[in-house]
Amino acid sequence: MAWRLRLAPEKTNIDFFKIQWLTFGGSMALMVAAFVFWGMYGLNFGIDFKGGTTIRTESTQAVDVGAYRKALDGLAIGDVVITEVFDPTFRADQHVAQVRVSSADAEQAVGEEAVGAVQAALTALDPAIKFPSVETVGPKVSGELVKTSVLAVATTSILIMLYIWMRFEWQFALGAVLALLHDVFITVGIFALFQIKFDLTIIAALLTILGYSINDTVVVFDRLRENLIKYKTMPLKEVMNLSVNETLSRTLMTSLTTLIAVGAMLVFGGDVIRGFSFAIFIGVVLGTYSSVYVAKNIVLMIGLDRSDKPKNGRPSDHEFANIDA
């Protein structure tokens, strides 16, 4: 018989409600703390949200990001993000980078003097360097990006809630979305607490977290719906425990394999994607936790109507339950 790795026994009987005052209560406390950190420290916005200038460089010499950053140290400029650009159409001796510079004053755009100082410092390092393009994003455009990012997260949450409502019941939809917001708010709170750079890549990470977390929650809810039909007289809390236990092995395996991939990105991905990888890593952990301890607790508190109500001429727990989606 082939040996198979199991992260959990084939059958478990864990009472996930036994210490709900600690698990669910702790989650609520963390959300409150996240808002407090957000209010006290604010977010350390990157160039995308503060405004800045992108200077494209081109040289016959290889790009040394560390040397570029060292050459720009001490200049009267704000944050600097240096990214080497790769393209299969580039010549063998064509080395391109993007130097993104934010203004030292968040209310002002990067001035020509600051751009000139950056170009002079890089030219002193590499006399062969050229500057094909210089693009500036002002604070007004950055403010619009902030609003658009918030709108993207809010719209995604609403659409997910509508889908879950159609697929299950409104109680499931509310529980799922509140669990998603739990994951997002705590992640943002961690970024505020440690003042980690917050830019558009983090927004992409938050949207990815929403997708990952709802996938895990839907698996639990789908099993819960099947068991609600199967065990009509079993108390709701026990049906929920049974459903989470039955999907526990799948939940742990999915989370572990995802964390291995994201952990590799976090360790070996470098500075450019470190913030993104960190957000995803935290989000996967929180998403797994909320699927087990948060979403179903909210549904339990709201309650479910378990009476038999045939709809559309067939016995079903929900009129949309048999949609193939």
For residue 283, is pLDDT > 80?
yes
This prediction's pTM = 0.75
Q: What percent of the chain has pLDDT over 70?
A: 86
For residue 233, is pLDDT > 50?
yes
pLDDT at 279 (0 to 100): 94
Query: Hey, how many other C-beta atoms are within 10 angstroms of the C-beta on 192?
Result: 21
For 35-88, write each residue's pLDDT tens digit. 999 999 988 877 777 777 888 899 988 888 888 888 888 787 777 888 888 877
For residue 10, is pLDDT > 90?
no
Ordered domains of the chain (ranges, CATH): 20-43+142-302 (1.20.1640.10), 52-137 (3.30.70.120)
Residue 325's pLDDT band, with cuts at 50, 70 and 90, is: very low
Residue 105's pLDDT band, with cuts at 50, 70 and 90, is: low
For residue 9, is pLDDT > 70?
no
For residue 291, is pLDDT > 80?
yes
For 239-258, write each residue's pLDDT tens digit. 999 999 988 888 888 899 99
Residue 190's pLDDT band, with cuts at 50, 70 and 90, is: very high
Residue 186's pLDDT band, with cuts at 50, 70 and 90, is: very high
pLDDT at 304 (0 to 100): 79
- Mean pLDDT confidence for 4-14: 68
> Do 7 and 256 form a contact (C-beta atoms < 8 A)?
yes
Pick from 180-189, 265-274, 283-292: least confident: 265-274
For the chain, the average pLDDT equals 82
For 254-275, write each residue's pLDDT tens digit. 899 999 999 999 888 777 788 8
